[in-house]
Chain A
């Protein structure tokens, strides 16, 4: 029996940008029916970022199509009383509501947890605001980069001895998504056992801090701020990224024991410099890593990053290229795992997306991300039984909008 885990669970998603939508994408992979509520009054900013060569594409582009894969979309203006009435009908036949809007958004529409609970007593509401729904800063605004700053991550990110920098990939968003999913799934498990729903509130900034305990505990235990270390490690050396043949090509190498060091030296052809006392034990190598890194770079530069990886992996030394996106998508072993999926989006055309970061035989097969309001008919007619004439009126009066 290979029914996906969440088959039969219906989720309403009030989500935008990244952290919220990626929750929806993963829930769809788990087999849930995820209905994203959108409105032309204020589009998800990721629908309109201009990442396209096709001007006809409209609000069907960019990151939206990566994170909202497998999700359904309806358009509904909740500021209209009729819109609110319709969403309440949908709540009645749903299990979970997820949102990464500001804490005031849902209560502002009259959809606070107390109201939702009256409509559907065992409803699960999972809110994922930047700083949580309680506390003095609950209304503060943020993007991924802000969360990294406030959560204590940015202060430790940067090249050794230099100023802190913005990360670039903004992992705080998918970290928020995953914690949001912990909330959804824990609450579903609890409802299964007790019949009770609940409101789970997640603070994204706390999520960031909870993933860097070394930084926090260094301060707690020794009153020290962890310095910015780039690729460096507390113990290991060499532990860095070295230049390779070609333009902007790099390979990461990490050596944690004397045996691995010997293996690395052997692959490098046992150069004389490697016999120097400065590199004779792990501590000495760590102490002299600036010089060590330069010498290793002198060896790696004559090979491609793939060649260095293969030579070192054959000798049991941890090494891998610092892949750019094109290399990563086209790397045969990565392809073999099937993490990237090529889809043909109805409007946007060829779209590369990724599945949830694990393999399970139960993962649902999902269509591309929806166009705006693509599932209006299914939700309004089939699920809620609204007739064609009413639908026409609702479109006319910009309730379905």
Chain B
């Protein structure tokens, strides 16, 4: 946990890979108790996803898994077996929230869909995250982050310099699965607030495609009011709105107000460009970008990212340095806010991204490492549910845990 906010809230996570684990991580970071249920054979899929520490694959070596599952308790359980389902039911009975991201068909088959969960525990909040939601013709379609990004409409408007006939691309890593998990956490937190006064639960049906759609506010406004269909274009008739090379990397010069451009030409030492007929407003600069770009690049190439970033910001120009992960890890602003955290395991410490919020009334605490596969079986099954240690051995033999 980072902050003891949701003290006493109990969460069961039956999630895989990113969306549901990230939703539950956000709640765990806020002090809720999260019991993560994994398949006994091989655990969460993200355990098999790079990056691995020193490039050595292994269930306990994935940086992605460790990030997503810090601050949680972990058990293994197979609810396909009758005994497994019985144990699952016992866990749900004492929980407040049930977070999952499995195909609706599978949850129904396992007898763990909302209609069943509600019978087990009438006060449960069940947060289900799926590619297309629990209803509608796409509900059983196969998807993954790539497909969600494109079918949610962000790929089609990905920017492109030069040749716009190339294919639409998506943002890096698994950004939109993370965003879906984040959105699901927001929905769940509002429901926890209501549950704490009314004792009532509900079903929250989170769609990854719809989570992607919330990135389209400019697209939808243009379509709604002007009938325009946004596509991959070079800066959308607006310049500078570009990433430009500099001495040691790249900078992002994307301005919205003319005053920002006028301040920037001062920074570049070319105030006369503000009065140049060809460059005097955003539309003209876009039209004559081929002439303007080399002039700007001639200047940017003389300086480092950091120099251009600092000089611009000192003059209130909202320019950004295009930072590599290495540079992000060295960032003084983030360091001053203690964003990065260290987590110890097996005597060695690893740095992870922390959380972007700070609470004035609550002290920030150190997070705990993600659970090893089945690490808390004994604690939960014996300590909480009252099974004997010899039951655990039998469960293991029967592949229940």
Contacts and interface: CB of A to CB of B under 8 A. Distances in A.
Contacts of B179: 171, 174-175, 178, 211
Interface stretch (A350-358, A380-388, A389-397): A350-358
Contacts, number: 503
A135 B336 contact: yes
A177 B264 CA distance: 29
B105 to A, nearest CB: 12
Interface in B220-248: 220-232, 235, 241-243, 245
* Residue with the greatest number of chain B CB neighbours at <10 A, chosen from A250, A322, A336: A322
Interface stretch (B51-59, B72-80, B378-386, B390-398): B51-59
A316 to B, nearest CB: 6
Given A165-B243, A329-B223, A240 B183 contact: no
Contacts of A321: 150-151
A146 B318 contact: yes
Interface residues on A, range: 35 or more
21 contacts: A30-B190, A51-B225, A53-B226, A132-B337, A135-B332, A149-B320, A153-B171, A157-B171, A178-B183, A197-B361, A211-B175, A213-B173, A252-B146, A252-B151, A318-B141, A324-B229, A325-B223, A339-B210, A352-B224, A356-B183, A357-B214
A136 B332 contact: yes
Nearest to B329: A219
Contact of A218 (B63, B155, B228): B63
A252 B153 CA distance: 11
Nearest to A241: B167
Contacts of B361: 190, 196-198
Nearest to A140: B313
Interface string B155-178: 111111100011111111111101
Interface in B294-334: 309, 313, 316-329, 331-334
Given A231-B170, A313-B142, A199 B193 contact: no
B190 to A, nearest CB: 4
B221 A66 contact: yes
Contacts of B251: 149
A293 B399 CA distance: 41
A interface secondary structure, majority: mixed
Interface in A222-255: 222, 225-226, 228-231, 233-236, 239-243, 248, 250-254
Contacts of A76: none
B322 A318 contact: no
A98 B61 CA distance: 40
Contacts of A163: 161, 243, 245, 250
Contacts of A214: 49-51, 63-64, 173-174
* Residue with the greatest number of chain B CB neighbours at <10 A, chosen from A1, A189, A251: A189
Contact of A320 (B147, B215, B329, B350): B147
Given A155-B322, A324-B231, A354-B220, 19 more contacts: A5-B193, A49-B221, A134-B337, A147-B320, A148-B252, A154-B250, A154-B322, A167-B158, A202-B358, A214-B174, A215-B172, A219-B325, A231-B155, A241-B155, A250-B155, A329-B220, A354-B216, A357-B183, A361-B203
Interface stretch (A57-65, A266-274, A278-286): A57-65
B225 A218 contact: no
A303 interface: no
A366 interface: no
* Residue with the greatest number of chain A CB neighbours at <10 A, chosen from B172, B196, B254: B172
Given A143-B318, A228-B172, A252-B147, A358 B210 contact: yes
Given A320-B150, A320-B151, A358 B326 contact: no
B350 A192 contact: no
A78 interface: no
